[in-house]
Amino acid sequence: MTPRDLLRDLVSTPSVSGAESEAAGVLVDYFESHGREAWTDDAGNVRAPGDDSVLLTSHVDTVPGYIDVRVEDGELWGRGSVDATGPLAAMAAASVETGASFAGVVEEETTSAGARHLVEDRAEPDAVVNGEPSGWDALTLGYRGLVAGTYEVATESGHSSRPEPNAVQIATAWTERVRAAFPDDDTVFESVTVKPVSFDGGLAEDGTAVEATVEMQFRLPPGTTADDVRETVADCTEAGSVTWTESIPPVMASPRTPVAGALRAGIRDAGSDPTHLRKTGTSDANIYAGAWDCPVATYGPGDSNLDHAPDERIDLAAFDRGVDVLTTAADRLCTS
C-alpha cells in the first residue's frame, strides 16, 4: 500500500471525534502489513512503537460533515483530508520508512483525551513532531492556549414589563463586559480572544426563575496564564458564577531545536525554503509541550484555510512532498 493509498483509505473511513475505531483499524493494518507492531490502547489511540528519538503523532478524528471522497485536478477531496488525515497518513508512511515511533490519537477536535492519555501512559520521547496542516514547506512553532468556562445566573421570574434586568440581560451584559476586558493587541496571536460558543436562557421549568448559561472559550497567547484570565473574569462578575472546565497552556517553541532543524532540512531537500508559523488556535502540541520536557514542533501537508471547510481537500503532490519532508526529518533524528 502506497502512502496515497493509505491517505485515501483513511479519508474514506468516517472518523468523527469519539468514533475513530474503524479508522484506527486501518492504521493498525497498515503498520502490520509492513512488519511493525501496532495496537489500539485503552483510550483508542493507535500505538506503533519504534525509535523514540522522535515521536511522529497526529490525530485520527475529524469534525462532522460529509464530503464526497474523490480526486479532481490532482486534489483529494474529503472530510479530514487536511485536518488532519493528510498529516496523519504522511506521518504513518514516514514512520514505516524510518522506524520512528508513531501514535495516532483520538478526540483532538473535542477533549484531547487521546493526547492526555498518551502523555500519562508512555515514556517521554526525545522529540515530538505533531501532525497538523502547516503546508508542506512550513512548520508551526506557536499555538495559543485555551481556557474554557461556564457562566450561570438566575433571577426571580416576573412580568417582562418590569424594569429590573432578568438573567438573560445580565448574562448578555456579562458577556460584553468580559469581552471588553481583553483588548486586542497588535496581532491576533498576541491577544486573548474571547468567544461565547453557546448561550441558553429563559424561564425555568418550574416557572419560578429566569435562568441563563453562557459557555465561553478564551484563547491565550504566550505570556498569559489561565489564572490571569480567571482573575480578570472574576472582576467582571458581579452576579452569577463561573465554573472553569478546561485549561491548556500556550506554547511557543524555539526554532533552534533539533526537531525544528530536521524539518527545515527536509523542506530544503524537497525543494523549498522553510517558513515558521504561529497559529491562533490550540492543538495537541500544547499538551505534549506542557507535559514533556522535550522539543516539540508541528508539521503537516495541507492548506489550513481548508480546515473544517465544506470544500476540504488536499493537493496530492504536496502530500507526497510532506511524506518526503517527514522521512528526511525522522531519518536525521532517529539513532537506531
State the catalytic residue, choosing from 52, 108, 315, 324.
Answer: 108
Q: How many residues appear in the chain?
A: 336
Task: Give me the torsion for CA of 128, 129, 131, 132, rounded to 10°.
Answer: 110
Return the bridge partners of 199, or none.
214
**How many angstroms separate the first and last alpha carbons of the chain?**
25
Strand stretches in the chain, DSSP E: 39-40, 46-48, 51-59, 70-72, 75-77, 100-105, 128-131, 138-143, 145-156, 193-203, 209-220, 241-248, 251-252, 275-279, 296-299, 313-315
Q: Is 315 a catalytic residue?
A: no
State the residue for C-alpha cell 505533531: 130
Q: In whole angstroms, what is the distance from residue 275 CA to residue 105 CA?
A: 26
Q: What is the DSSP string of 301-317?
A: SS-GGGTT-TT-EEEHH
Q: Is 61 a catalytic residue?
A: yes
State the catalytic residue, choosing from 52, 61, 83, 132.
Answer: 61
For residue 134, give the nearest of 265, 245, 263 by alpha carbon.
263
Kindly list the catalytic residues: 61, 108
